[in-house]
Structure 1
Amino acid sequence: MFGRLGVGRYLSDDERHASMLEMLQSRPEGEGIWIFAYGSLIWNPALEFDLSYRGVLKNWKRAFCMKLTAGRATGDSHGRMLALVPGTGTEGIAYRLRENDLQYELVVLWKREMSTTSYIPKWEQVELYNGEVITALVFVMSQNDANFDCNYESENVAECIARAQGPLGTNADYLHRLNNALEENNVTDEYILQLAEKVAKMHACKEHLQ
Structure 2
Amino acid sequence: MLERTLVEWGHDDLWVFGYGSLIWRPDFDFAERRPARVHGWHRALKMWSRINRGTPERPGLVFGLLTGGCCQGMVFRIPQAQGREVLARLWEREMITAVYDPRWLRCDTQQGPVRALAFTLSRKSPNHTGVLSEEEYRRIFSEASGRYGTTWDYARLTLEELRRHNIRDRGLERLVKLMER
TM-score of the two chains, using structure 2 as the length reference: 0.90
Q: Does 1:20 align with 2:20?
A: no
Q: Does 1:165 align with 2:144?
A: yes
Preserved CA contact (<8 Å) 1:64 1:157: no
> Relative to structure 1, is the Cα distance of residues 76 and 103 closer, same or farther in structure 2, using a 3 angstrom cutoff?
closer
The residue aligned with 1:116 is 97
AA aligned to 1:37 is G
2:171 to 178, 191, 199: 191
> Relative to structure 1, is the Cα distance of residues 138 and 191 closer, same or farther in structure 2, using a 3 angstrom cutoff?
same
> Relative to structure 1, is the Cα distance of residues 75 and 105 closer, same or farther in structure 2, using a 3 angstrom cutoff?
closer
Select the structure that is richer in strand: 2
CA deviation string 1:131-153 (max 9, x = no partner): 4011110000133322111215x
Paired residues, number: 180
The residue aligned with 1:149 is 129
Preserved CA contact (<8 Å) 2:54 2:150: yes
* Structure 2 counterpart SS, 1:72: coil
The residue aligned with 1:3 is none
1:181 to 161, 173, 180: 161
Give distance in 2, aligned partners of 1:73 and 1:26: 32
Structure 2, unmatched stretches of 5+, are: none
Give distance in 2, aligned partners of 1:78 and 1:87: 25
Which runs of structure 2 are paired with 1:1-210 in the superposition (5 Å)?
A: 19-27=1-9, 31-128=12-109, 130-152=110-132, 155=134, 157-168=136-147, 169-201=149-181
How far off its partner does 1:198 sit?
1.2
How far off its partner does 1:157 sit?
4.8
CA deviation string 1:7-66 (max 9, x = no partner): xxxxxxxxxxxx22211212258x521000001110111112111100101111111111
Give distance in 1, aligned partners of 2:57 and 2:97: 21
Higher-Rg member (1/2): 1
AA aligned to 2:142 is R
AA aligned to 1:22 is R
Structure 1, unmatched stretches of 5+, are: 1-18, 202-210
